[in-house]
Chains A and B, each alone.
Chain A
Amino acid sequence: AERYFTRWYKPDVKGRPCEDFCVLQHSNRICVITLAEAHPLLQSGKTIKNINYQISANCSRLQNKVSGKSKRFLTELAPLCRISSSDGEEYTIYSCIRGRLIEVNENILSNPALLQEKPSTEGYIAVVLPKFEESKSITQGLLTQKEYEEVLMKRRSSAS
């Protein structure tokens, strides 16, 4: 099924090193937000303690269905959820694209391992639908697969 998706990447979101995201864009412009392989949460040894869709006092991404369209509109840096690992770290997952939040993945709430085992499919974070007019432009701030691979190479070389 992934053959219909184009992969776009956003590395080092909010300046935090290696917190990379991968946006899977379907040919019908639907976008699936996922963690990229380089993300710390996907490295061996990390155990997820908690996934929380309640990002503020008034806003829970789980309550998405109830509120009106305007409340569901996300900007690029809108937080989707907060994930804490057993080693005390906390990570915020961001939308990375502007658009309407369609759903967040509730399967990872009941089975956090899914996020680590299948981050690009069943472990997705959320589904976002950009506005029709913006469907092409949203990917302007993102990297193609090739460009991302270059970023990865640079990291490796600077690390060593």
Chain B
Amino acid sequence: MAAVFLCRVLLSRIGYCRCYSGWHGEHGYIPSLGPQELGEYQVLLTGAKPKAKTDLPSMSSLTEKDRPIVQLLLSAGTCPRCVLRFCCVGSQMLYRLPHQDLMKDLQEFLKNSQEKEDTVCLDVADPPCKRIRLEHIREEGADDLNLNGAIPELPLAASGNTATESSAGKVCNVCLGILQEFCEADFVKQVCQKVNSADYQFTSFVFSVSLPPQLSVRERAAWLGVKQQMRNLGLPFAKDDIVQLKEAYKWIIHPQLSEELGVPADGKSLFEVSVVFAHPETDEECHFLATACPDCFKPAKNKQSVFTRMAVIKALERIKEEDFLKHFPCPPSSPKNLCDALEIECNNGAVFVAGRYNKYSRNLPQTPWIIDGERKLESSVEELISEHLMAKFKADSFNFSSSGREDVDVRTLGNGRPFAMELVNPRRIHFTAEEMKRLQQAINDSSDKIQVRDLQLVTREAIGRMKEGEEEKTKTYSALIWTDKAIQREDIAFLDDIKELKLDQKTPLRVLHRRPLAMRCRLIHTMKSEYIDEHHFRLHLKTQAGTYIKEFVHGDFGRTKPNIGSLLNRTADILELDVESVDVDWPPTLAD
């Protein structure tokens, strides 16, 4: 019966007229069919996607058992879409129909039920025309109500009137307007204006909505109210899955947003449009939960409200029905105002840019060197690279990381050190290989202190590969060493033959103020010496990652053993250090 009712709604929407034996319209003639077939036609004619098998178990039609629910909720001031939700109507299409039309149809549905009730409690003395008409109805069912000019208007029962009056034009007592005004084209325009003015680059979007916690309270109150009513009427009320507010909202608003923005909605999208709704008028409605379930509400940090959405939901799970009914009207009362859409914000997921950098200055820290608010050295590797990336990608902020670090006074030569830059909330995300090359050139032209290569976009996972390098890979260095006592070529030649020299290094004094005291064992794989004069020689070394080279040379008060001093039986010091290579094969080398 009721599937037919809904079909009627749709068929009349697209220009069909009901006649005795079937339906006539511009698309042709459809003979009167049972609910099943009409349902299928409905799908075909309106071009809607057939419902997936995974739809809600309870079906997309209003049945007899839904009447008291519709009655109760409409008279309490619930909007038509919320009414459909509570009747477990799962057809997304229906929610997208204009709410005025849905309201009219629900009223018709009630009117029909009203008449049905009338037949039951009718007295024997019926005017003959009425009797005929009623019998006619009994035969044909609800679909006859629109017979052209056939049936005069039946007086509606009092409750029927209240139902229509209560809901028409009022703010919904359950969704506080979310499924009303905030589904309209005006709001969609408002959101899209915000998105367009924020000037982001995106190919899809995810729309996330933050609802005020009292909506959960009201939802529960409506459900309890319905449950009570059904119990009073002695009707069964199974705990079917009521359509969630957020889900229904997304059914309605996604297609509209998608059309305006020109891109599809995608749950996995990196571009997020978020709206925060608030309803200050009813904020205190959650407070009774604190007395009923005090341990759900921990003391607030930073003067923020204790009544967070999570806390409220937790309390609602715990509170007993009787307690809830005592403290809160079920179904809930109508509010005066709509919700406010507080913030409409856009956020793009982070992008990652990787590359390798060379450092040619002996006076440049990797990260800004600031003590007590005072900058000790001008600029840094990080800043020289990020300046250009931030401008091009138009990001809010960045996170710089690299495969190990070097001191201020150490140069990085060879292929350079791998680094990765996370750009947070970038406005621009699409760059061709050509554009990246140009960006790389711009960075290189702007400074002689650093140079970058292999600049490319990478995924978040790729960063893990870089950090692997820090622990596992080898590095090669070139050190300029001074000795106090004179040396001859023969005195240092033996160094070249030492392989896999094992070092015991205590945490160097120069970093002891910020690192814990520890002993680390490290390997010097190979060495190659270059005699310069009686007090100087150059040493090339290949070492395990994490070896402190300077301390290996001067010994750090004997806390690194062995060291060059102990090996040569002299006092040695390091004058210059260069990183010759960082042996990590990431990021991929790019052809020039």
Residues of A within 8 A of B (CB): 1, 4, 26, 28-30, 32, 65, 102-103, 105, 107, 114, 118, 121-122, 124, 127, 129
Contacts and interface: CB of A to CB of B under 8 A. Distances in A.
Given A1-B554, A1-B556, A121-B558, A28 B510 contact: yes
Given A1-B573, A65-B517, A102-B517, A32 B557 contact: yes
A55 B558 CA distance: 24
A127 B555 contact: no
Interface string B135-175: 00000000000000000000000000000000000000000
8 contacts: A1-B573, A4-B510, A26-B509, A65-B517, A103-B506, A107-B558, A118-B558, A122-B558
Indicate the member of A26, A65, A107, A121 with the most B CB atoms within 10 Å: A121
Interface of B: 506, 509-514, 517, 550, 554-558, 571, 573
B522 to A, nearest CB: 18
A118 B550 CA distance: 20
Given A1-B556, A1-B573, A122-B555, A127 B513 contact: no
Nearest to A123: B558
A88 B317 CA distance: 81
Contacts of A32: 509, 557
Rank and list the top 9 A-B pairs by shortest CB-CB distance, nearest first. A122-B558, A1-B554, A28-B513, A30-B512, A107-B558, A30-B509, A121-B557, A124-B557, A30-B513
Contacts of A122: 555, 557-558
Contacts of B571: 121
Contacts of B511: 28
B585 to A, nearest CB: 34
Contacts of B556: 1
A105 B559 CA distance: 9
B444 to A, nearest CB: 33
A34 B509 CA distance: 15
A23 B513 CA distance: 16
Contacts of A121: 555, 557-558, 571
B558 A114 contact: yes
B512 A102 contact: yes
A127 B512 contact: yes
Contacts of B506: 103
A121 B571 CA distance: 10
A124 B557 CA distance: 7
Nearest to A121: B557
A32 to B, nearest CB: 7
A102 B556 CA distance: 15
Nearest to B513: A28
A121 B511 CA distance: 17
A26 B558 contact: no
A29 B557 contact: no
Which among B517, B550, B554, B558 has the highest number of chain A CB atoms within 10 Å?
B558
A1 B558 CA distance: 12
A121 B558 CA distance: 7
A118 B506 CA distance: 19
Given A118-B558, A121-B555, A122-B555, 9 more contacts: A1-B554, A4-B510, A26-B513, A28-B511, A28-B514, A65-B517, A102-B512, A121-B558, A129-B512
Most buried by B among A26, A118, A122, A127: A122
Contacts of A124: 557-558
B575 to A, nearest CB: 11
B557 A129 contact: no
B160 to A, nearest CB: 78
Nearest to B551: A1
Contacts of A30: 509-510, 512-513
Given A107-B558, A124-B557, A29 B509 contact: no
A4 B510 CA distance: 9
Contact of B517 (A1, A103, A105, A118): A103
A32 B556 CA distance: 11
Contacts of A129: 512-513
A1 B513 CA distance: 17
B553 to A, nearest CB: 9
Nearest to A3: B573
Interface centre among A1, A29, A129 (most CB of B within 10 A): A1
Nearest to A108: B558
A145 B514 CA distance: 28
A160 B550 CA distance: 45
Contacts of B550: 1
- Interface hub of B506, B517, B550 (most chain A Cβ within 10 A): B517
